[in-house]
Amino acid sequence: MRAARLTPIARTGAALLTAALFGLAPAAPALADDSPSPSPSASASAGPPTEAGTDFRTATAVQQGERATADASTGDYLYWAFPGDTGQDITVKATVTFPSTSVTHAASTWQIDVYDGLRRHQPCRYGMASRQADPGATSVELSCTLRTVTSYADTWSNDPLRGAYYLRLTATDIAQTDLGLPVQAAVEATASDAGGSAAADGSVTPLVPRESASVVPSGGWSSTWWSARWLWSAGGAALAALAGIGGYALTRGRGRPRGIPREV
Amino acid sequence: MITRKRLAAWLGTALLTVATCGALPASASADAPDPQAAPKVELVLDVSGSMSTKDIDGQSRMSAAKQAFDEVLDSTPADTQLGIRTLGANYPGDDRQVGCRDTAQLYPVGPLDRDQAKAAVATLNPTGWTPIGPALLAAAKDLKGGTGSHRIVLITDGEDTCGPTNPCEIARQIAAQGVGMTIDTLGLIPDATTRDQLSCIAEATGGTYTTVQHRQQLTNRVQQLVQRDTDTTVNPVPVQGGPDCADAPTVRPGLYSDRETFSENRWYKVDVDPGQELRAAVSVSDDRAVDPDYGVLLRAVTTHGREIVRDAEAGSGRTDMISAGLRYPKPKAGSGSGDDPAPAETVCVEVGNSFAAPPSVKTTPGLPVELSIGLVASPHRASDVASFGLGDGWWLLGLLTLTGFVAGVLWGWLSRWRVAIWRTN
């Protein structure tokens, strides 16, 4: 639980406030129209998803930390969408398992690609995003660690912003004879907190396209104003004050001599 | 405590719902199940003579398919509009002309009556030819109408030998006509040519191809495909981009589909109000054999031709699509502009691709383009790189402490000096 997240009660309060505002403000339709609203069907399903989408539009929404699985055929393009929030270092892991069948498969290359909410391809800082499976191998492990998600970026950069992230898993190089053979895929996105040093100024509406409106962190988007920088700065101020008092006590001398009366 | 939280949450949800419904009457109706938007699926089953071969778990291909159909029909969601079409089920003769027209609708697309559908499937016997192309065309006709997704699931054990048109070309034409038409293919113990043909059909429509060796595998896959579209609610709206900015159609926020031939550029116009951010994302799919290197370009340009922002992506190797996206925040008008709000700016969005294909590949219809347009509140501008201009780290602490200490020392000297002055006076 990050300190930045609002507590459930505070969130409810915020929701109440928003609701009241929406009810009153005449400009509400335009506002509501612009913000992607989570679809009720997505939250209804229990447990991690067992299906994958086939393109950006149908990408299966999955939460961070959930291990999504899918039965697929070799050659399929599998899509999932997960939320990435400000200040997170996201790592995506995928495992492709070849079920033991009478058919032995030839060598194949598997790859994960991560795209942001604007379908811009995101580079991996490290991790094997593409790997070759030897003939007869039982599984392939892939991983990709993204750059830290920031709260603001220039419009002409493709720095990762908070919002939906799409994960595509596919075989990039396969023998024709392997086409259509069954495989099992499992993916999981996890995140660690990058800390205050990554906190940037400004905030951008989460990059969640309408077709993936159900991609929202389970605790809602974290606020963009909080960062550990507040603690560092306040702590620095307190230390400065203490050091100031210390320095003053060192040099001011004894002050007014004791024996001399006040009224002279 | 828990009760209080729940109550608060419930109240919040209720209030939000009321507020949203009051503000957005249109969205409420969009969420309700709409028969027009229900997903439609047609299963196309090969009943040609070769289906009597006994090589799937010791059973004949036909009986494996029948059992699979029974299980699939049992598990199909009630709101799915499902139909069944056969190919090669009726004409046992040798006349190619007649055999290649042999496709019939076994069960019409509509609300599912499980018993009727099962009874119809039970009557099938492996008989005739394999006219895949005509069956696909007829299936596309069966599925016509409605705004939901359309899916054809083709189950066959052999290639189309009827000609003259390759069923792969037919599939591409079907995908170009219909809205969200996908063809998934399943090959029962296929040979190399059948596999190539079926995977080509799947690729041409954004569908999937599966090689089937076991009955359970067939059941699971067909079940998976039939249920695949029940969750998706957003279907792209067809639009035709213009050859330049002046002739471009104006698009509102939403999801659009278009076709763009090789190395073509298409333009769209979007009106962006001050204080809004334009978000455009595009993906161009390769639905046929293309050269290994390809790319996509997405540009936002003013009506006067000045480029605002662009994104380009290039790739190579096997892929289903290549995509790019851009953001353009239009700042709020200055405070001194008076009462009348600033007019919306028309931004031209250009979508280009650099796919290429060998001369043998047909260039029409064009490659499928999916364009996602969004308008959201424009971002809070950064005044500093760091969050609120705040500091971070041990160097900051050291500097602040040192500064505080120096200030304290100076203040102490000052006060000592004042005491000395006071003493001498």
Are residues B254 and B365 located together in one domain of the fold? Answer: yes
- The answer to whether position B16 is within a domain reads no
Positions of chain B with pLDDT lower than 70, given as ranges: 1-36, 178-179, 230-233, 334-340
Q: Do A229 and B199 touch (CB under 8 A)?
A: no
Confidence of residue A163 (pLDDT cuts 50, 70, 90): very high
- The answer to whether position B1 is within a domain reads no
- Residue A11 pLDDT more than 50? no
Q: Is B402 on the interface with A (CB under 8 A)?
A: yes
Are residues B84 and B220 located together in one domain of the fold? Answer: yes
- Residue A44 pLDDT more than 60? no
Per-residue confidence (pLDDT) for residue B236, from 0 to 100: 86
- Residue A39 pLDDT more than 50? no
- The answer to whether position B320 is within a domain reads yes
The mean pLDDT value for A188-196 works out to 90
In chain A, residues with a C-beta closer than 8 Å to the C-beta of B9 are 8, 12
In chain A, residues with a C-beta closer than 8 Å to the C-beta of B393 are 197, 232
* Partner-chain residue, chosen from B9, B210, B399, that has the shortest CB–CB distance to A8: B9
- The answer to whether position B393 is within a domain reads no
Per-residue confidence (pLDDT) for residue B339, from 0 to 100: 59
Query: Looking at chain B from residue 99 to 138, which residues have their Cβ under 8 Å from any Cβ of chain A?
Result: none
Q: To the nearest whole angstrom, how far is the Cα of A56 from the nearest Cα of chain B?
A: 9
- Residue A9 pLDDT more than 60? no
Residue at B412: amino acid letter: G
Total tally of structural domains belonging to chain B: 2
Q: Do A229 and B390 touch (CB under 8 A)?
A: yes
For A47-64, the pLDDT digits (tens) are 889 889 888 988 999 999
Are residues B133 and B221 located together in one domain of the fold? Answer: yes
- Residue A142 pLDDT more than 60? yes
- The answer to whether position B415 is within a domain reads no
Residue at A224: amino acid letter: T
- In whole angstroms, how far apart are CA B391 and each of A47, A200, A226, A235? 42, 11, 13, 10
Q: Do A180 and B206 touch (CB under 8 A)?
A: no
In chain B, residues with a C-beta closer than 8 Å to the C-beta of A232 are 390-393, 396-397
Are residues B221 and B246 located together in one domain of the fold? Answer: no
Q: Give ipTM to 2 decimals.
A: 0.84
- The answer to whether position A199 is within a domain reads yes
CATH number for the domain harbouring residue B270: 2.60.120.380
In chain A, residues with a C-beta closer than 8 Å to the C-beta of B232 are 57-58
- Residue A160 pLDDT more than 90? yes
Tokens linked to B102: 């042999």
Q: To the nearest whole angstrom, how far is the Cα of B97 from the nearest Cα of chain A?
A: 32
Highest mean pLDDT among A9-13, A135-139, A214-218, B291-295: B291-295
- The answer to whether position B416 is within a domain reads no
Confidence of residue A144 (pLDDT cuts 50, 70, 90): very high
* Partner-chain residue, chosen from B228, B317, B380, that has the shortest CB–CB distance to A202: B380
- The answer to whether position B117 is within a domain reads yes
| E strands, A146-256, in order | 163-173, 182-193
- The answer to whether position A102 is within a domain reads yes
The more confidently predicted of residues A101 and B405 is B405
What burial class does residue A10 get, using C-beta atoms within 10 Å of its C-beta: 0-12 exposed, 13-18 middle, 19+ buried?
exposed
- Contact (CB, 8 A) for B344 and B271: yes
- Residue A68 pLDDT more than 90? yes
- The answer to whether position A261 is within a domain reads no
Tokens linked to B422: 């006071």
**DSSP secondary structure letters along B172-224:** HHHHHHSSSEEEEEEEES--HHHHHHHHHHHHHHT--EEEE-SHHHHHHHHHH
- The answer to whether position B17 is within a domain reads no
Residue ranges making up the domain that contains B153: 34-230
Q: Is B395 on the interface with A (CB under 8 A)?
A: no
Query: Looking at chain B from residue 367 to 386, which residues have their Cβ under 8 Å from any Cβ of chain A?
Result: 370, 372, 374-377, 379-386
Are residues B90 and B129 located together in one domain of the fold? Answer: yes
What burial class does residue B57 get, using C-beta atoms within 10 Å of its C-beta: 0-12 exposed, 13-18 middle, 19+ buried?
middle
The mean pLDDT value for A93-120 works out to 88
Q: Do A247 and B412 touch (CB under 8 A)?
A: yes
Q: Is B33 on the interface with A (CB under 8 A)?
A: no
Residue of B nearest to A150 (CA): B387
Q: Do B24 and A33 touch (CB under 8 A)?
A: yes
What burial class does residue B246 get, using C-beta atoms within 10 Å of its C-beta: 0-12 exposed, 13-18 middle, 19+ buried?
exposed
CATH number for the domain harbouring residue A91: 2.60.120.380
Q: To the nearest whole angstrom, how far is the Cα of B134 from the nearest Cα of chain A?
A: 24
* Partner-chain residue, chosen from B224, B323, B329, that has the shortest CB–CB distance to A115: B323
Residue of B nearest to A170 (CA): B319
Which DSSP letter does residue B387 get?
Answer: G
Count of C-beta atoms within a 10 Å radius of residue A230: 17
CATH number for the domain harbouring residue B130: 3.40.50.410
Which helix or strand (DSSP H or E) is residue A9 part of?
helix A8-24
* Partner-chain residue, chosen from A29, A55, A237, that has the shortest CB–CB distance to B24: A29
- The answer to whether position A25 is within a domain reads no
In chain A, residues with a C-beta closer than 8 Å to the C-beta of B208 are 54, 72-73, 75-76
Residue ranges making up the domain that contains A43: 35-231
Are residues B263 and B183 located together in one domain of the fold? Answer: no
- The answer to whether position A14 is within a domain reads no
- Residue A7 pLDDT more than 60? no
- The answer to whether position A21 is within a domain reads no
Q: Is B75 on the interface with A (CB under 8 A)?
A: no
* Partner-chain residue, chosen from B374, B377, B408, that has the shortest CB–CB distance to A243: B408
Residue at A78: amino acid letter: L
Are residues B200 and B262 located together in one domain of the fold? Answer: no
Are residues B252 and B199 located together in one domain of the fold? Answer: no
Total tally of structural domains belonging to chain A: 1
Where does residue B275 fall: left (phi above 0), alpha (psi -120 to 50 degrees), or beta otherwise? left
On average, the pLDDT of chain A sits at: 80
Are residues B187 and B325 located together in one domain of the fold? Answer: no
- The answer to whether position A240 is within a domain reads no
Are residues B261 and B317 located together in one domain of the fold? Answer: yes
Per-residue confidence (pLDDT) for residue B178, from 0 to 100: 64
* Partner-chain residue, chosen from B182, B392, B413, that has the shortest CB–CB distance to A196: B392
Are residues B176 and B246 located together in one domain of the fold? Answer: no
- Best mutation target, B392, B395, B419, B421, to test chain A (most A CBs within 10 A): B392
Are residues B91 and B203 located together in one domain of the fold? Answer: yes
**DSSP secondary structure letters along A120-163:** -EE--SBS-SEEEEPTT-SEEEEEEEPPPPBS---TTS---BSE
- Best mutation target, A50, A229, A260, to test chain B (most B CBs within 10 A): A229
The more confidently predicted of residues B383 and A158 is A158
Q: Is B209 on the interface with A (CB under 8 A)?
A: yes
- Best mutation target, A12, A103, A242, to test chain B (most B CBs within 10 A): A12
- Best mutation target, B387, B395, B418, B422, to test chain A (most A CBs within 10 A): B387
- The answer to whether position A22 is within a domain reads no
In chain A, residues with a C-beta closer than 8 Å to the C-beta of B211 are 73, 179-181
Residue at B294: amino acid letter: Y
